[in-house]
Every structure is written in C-alpha cells, then in structure tokens.
Copies of this chain bind each other. A is one copy, B any other.
Amino acid sequence: MLAAVAKPESASIRSAKAGTLETLATRSGISAATLSRVLNHPHQVRAPLRARAERVLRDAGYVAHGAARSLASKRSRTMGAIVPTIDSALFAGVVEGLQQAIHVGGYQLLLASSRYDLEQEASEVRALLERGVDGLMLIGSAHAPETLAMLRRHGVPFVTTCHHDATAAWPTIGWNNERESARIADYLLDIGHRRFGVIAGIGAGNDRAADRLTGFRGALARRNVRLADAAVLERAYSVPAARQAMAALLRLPQRPSAVLCGNDILAYGALQECLWQDLRVPHDISISGFDNIEMAAHCRPGITTIAVPAAEIGAMAGRALLQAQQSEGSELPAHAFVELELIVRGSTAPPPVLPRGAAKTRRGSVSSPTQAVAP
C-alpha cells in the first residue's frame, strides 16, 4: 500500500491559515508587537488588551515560528545533550531526568549520541551549536580539544556529568569514579579477598571506565595486593563480551576469588558465565558491578554495586543549565559532588576458606592476607 507521509496540503512549512503574528495583527487590529508581548512578557500588556490578544491567538490556533523567534531573540529554548549511547540504562536515565528538568522551563531537548567516540562527539557538538542550543550537557571529562574550543568560542553554557573534576573550568555534576570504584575494591578486600580479576570497560575515550579501573588498581596497590596484567580485561559493555571475559578469568592458573567489574552489565555477564559453569556465586567467587541498574537488584544473586542516581544527575544538569539562562553572566554553584551508596547484595561474600587450595596458592600458605595473585 502506498500513502503520502502526511504531506502538507500546501508546499509551505506552515499552512496558509495558520497565520503569522503580522497576519493576526492586521486581522485583529492588535499590533504584532503587542501580540508578541502577550506571548513573551504578558504583564507588560494591560489586562483587557491581553485578554483580547489571547483570544485572537487561541482562536487562530497560533503556533509560534521557532526559527524566527530564535533569530530575533537569540535564544532557541532548546538544550542539547550528547551521550555515548541512548541505549543504556544509565544514560537513558540521565537523559530522562534532564529532559524532565528542562521541560519545566519550557525547553526542549536536542539529543545526540557519540558512540563512545570523541571525534563523533565533536561533530555532534558542532551540529547542536549550529542548531543554536542554549545549553549543553556532555558526559565525562574526556573530550576532543576541538570540542572545548568550539564550546569556548560560542560561549554556550555547558556541564559535564557522571564524573567529578574540581579542576575543570566548567561545572561538573557527578562523582569521583576512581574513588567510588576503590570503595568497592576496599569492601572486597575488607571481607578477605586477595585474588582479584577485573573486567573493566574500554578506557580509550571513556574517562569513566578508565577512572574506575584506576580506582580498582589503586585500592589493591594500597593494600599490597598484586593484580596480574592477565587478570585485567577491558571489554565493551555487553553481556556476551563480559561472559567471554569471565570465562578467560576462570581459566587463569590462579583463579580470582573476586571479580571487579566496570559496570553492572559486565557484572551481570560475568555472573551468568559463572552460573553457566556451575560455579556458586558468591560461595565460589564474588562479583561486583557499578551503576545499580534495575537488573542488578533483580537478578539472582543480586549484584553488589554502587548506586548511581541517573535521573537525578540529569535533573541537576538540567537545572544548572536552566539557571545559566537566567543569570546572564552570573556565578553559579558548580562541580556538584554526588555521594554514591555502596549496595551490598548476594553476589559478594568472603572468599572460600581454601583449605584444600594448596595447589592454587603459590607457597601453599593457607592464610596470607597480603598474598597477591600470581601472574
């Protein structure tokens, strides 16, 4: 079956009837300027005239012409956001929160995705700048030099989220990924683990993934726990990739008693692989995640993780951007630091007592808390 894709009856972008302010002005006797004022600064128009104008507008079914409006007012009433991918529980939550927040200010959201590629991000920034966004939200601290240059030149207010960087020249809204992931590692160390594996996100162009890995490494190093290179795997955030990585870790001569994952997707995949191989989690092996996506709470066992308030982060970004509109050139609280919560679930427990584990321990020692995993 063939049908037009809802084609206009007139070639014009707006139907002839729809009318411009000019049209309505001549037709109603109220000047276009007043009509415009009623739309933008209602209290500047005295009540009776305003009421009349409102009726005229409503009766005509008037819909403003955004482009003309932006051109004249230098504001698009549109905010931009660029995320690595929309198809992620974390970023979808952030975007949803952002869009709800700017919505209350009458703003719309121009959304793009960078696919974890900083060049792509730069190109999207340019595209959104061309569309005249009044503000912009980006993810993380790693950006192409060109991105920052364009942003600076245009002077568009922007914030970055899901990380924290007190030294950044712009506001950041989020948490310290390195510190938080160190926290999970510390927790596992505290309950006795000494042999670790890591399934991290791919660090290239992804500061959050890189920082989380750095956090894992740092925490272990501070407790003199060695982490072999072969026990650290970087993988794309997908369940199959994580399963494959976990399978590799399980093949290591010194099987880890705990596997730190860069996010919950990776943790979930790791968990599935263990269950598949009839390993008991957490009895045989502990697994931790990051983000606290819905699945982490609902799978069995639940995944020990760090809870990230995705929607709230987005909402904070939205409010900051909104605020930047009003306070033209004024100072704003920046670098919002978000406290995260460690959520302990069933995927982690103290390591097995390894009584018969002599074969796996280098010196056959049964309890050497600072003993590291061999390469």
Is residue A153 within 8 Å, beta carbon to beta carbon, of the partner chain? yes
CB-contact partner of A67 in B7, B71, B297, under 8 A? B71
Determine if A331 and B4 form an interchain contact, defined as CB atoms under 8 angstroms apart. yes
| Shortest beta-carbon distance from A42 to chain B in Å | 17
A68: chain B residues within 8 A (beta carbon): 67, 71
A159 CB contact (under 8 Å) in B5, B74, B126, B132:
B5
- How long is the Cα–Cα vector from A65 to B112 in the complex, in angstroms? 19
Q: Contacts A15-B154, A157-B7 given: A2-B328 contact, CB under 8 Å?
A: no
Residue A45 interfacial (CB < 8 Å)? no
Say yes or no: B154 contacts A14, CB within 8 Å. yes
Cα A70 to Cα B131 in complex, Å, equals: 9
The distance from the CB of A360 to the nearest CB of chain B, in whole angstroms, is 28
How far is it, in angstroms, between the C-alpha of A100 and the C-alpha of B114 when the chains are bound?
10
Instruction: State the Cβ distance, A216 to closest chain B Cβ, in Å.
Output: 24
> What residues of chain A have their CB less than 8 Å away from a CB belonging to chain B?
1-15, 17-18, 61, 63-71, 74-78, 85-89, 92-93, 95-96, 99-100, 103, 106, 108-113, 126-132, 135, 150-159, 166, 169-171, 239, 268-269, 272, 275, 294-295, 297-300, 311, 320-321, 323-324, 328-335
CB distance from A293 to the nearest CB of B (A): 10
Q: Which residues in B have their C-beta under 8 angstroms from that of A330?
A: 4
What are the 8 tightest A-B residue pairs by CB atom distance, in nearest-first order?
Answer: A8-B155, A67-B70, A5-B324, A3-B334, A5-B157, A67-B71, A13-B74, A87-B96
In the complex the two chains form, what is the Cα distance from A272 to B297 in whole Å?
11
